[in-house]
Structure formats: structure tokens, C-alpha cells
Amino acid sequence: METPFAVYDALSAINVAPEKVRVVVQSMERDMALFATRSQVGALDQHSAGRFDLLRAEMDTFRERFEQIDRRFAQIEKRFDTVDQRLAAVAQHLEQLLGEYRQHFDQRLSETAQQIEQRLTVRLGSFLAVATAVTATLLVLLRGGPVG
């Protein structure tokens, strides 16, 4: 607190009225109280450094946790890739089975259609033969000729 005394001495030396010197010195003391001292600035600097160290440590912890999360996501992605590959293999196998089933079904359908066509041909042939015989018999009967 040397400054207020030095100001008091200087103002007194140039014959400033004691009441005015007192007002100036009190005003200066009030203003000086608002400024931080070197020890206060040093304490604030140490406190801030400690807080920054804590913040840095917390940030390192968060970084480590995010790296762990990234590694876990990478593992999960690998698992999904494996599942995708398995599903692709199953889909390929199902597609192959479906192709074989279609081929078998088409073959069976073709065979069944041929069998139906053969049966219809035989039946239509039989019907035609019977119809021809009935027609011949009717013609013979209608003409009045001998039945054979």
C-alpha cells in the first residue's frame, strides 16, 4: 500500500488542500481494491491450471470411451457382415432349390398334360368308333336291311 502514501505526499507537496487530497487518496484506494494483486493473479493462474488439467483428464477419458465405442461398433459391423454373407448364401441356396422345384414342377406338369392328352385321344377315339358303329347301325336299320 505504498501508492496511496506516495500520492498523498505528492499532492501535499504541491499544496493541494488536505480535504481534496483525502478524497483523491480514498478514491484511489477504492479503485485499487477492484484490481487483483499479484498473489491473487498467481492463485487464479494456479487454480485455472488445475482446472484445465482436470478438464484435459476428463477429455482423455471421453476420448478413450469413444474409442472403445468405435471398436465395439467395428465388431458389430463385422458381425453384421457375417450375417449378411450367411443370408446371401441362404438366399442363393433357396433360389437354387426354387429353380429345381420349378424345373421338377414344369416336368411333372408336362407329363401330366401328355397323359391327359393321351387319355382324351383314346376316349375320343373310342367315342368316335362307337359313334360310327351307332351311325352305321342306324343307317342299316333305317334302310331296312339285314343286320349282320
Does some domain include residue 118?
A: yes
- The pTM of this model reads 0.42
The residues, ordered by sequence, that sit 6+ positions from 140 with a Cβ below 8 Å of its Cβ are 146, 147, 148
Does some domain include residue 2?
A: no
Does some domain include residue 3?
A: no
Does some domain include residue 138?
A: yes
* Domain total of the chain: 1
For the chain, the first-to-last Cα distance in angstroms comes to 160
Check pLDDT > 80 for residue 64: yes
> Mind listing the pLDDT tens digit for each residue in 2-52?
677 787 788 888 888 888 888 888 888 887 777 767 787 778 888 888 888
Check pLDDT > 90 for residue 87: yes
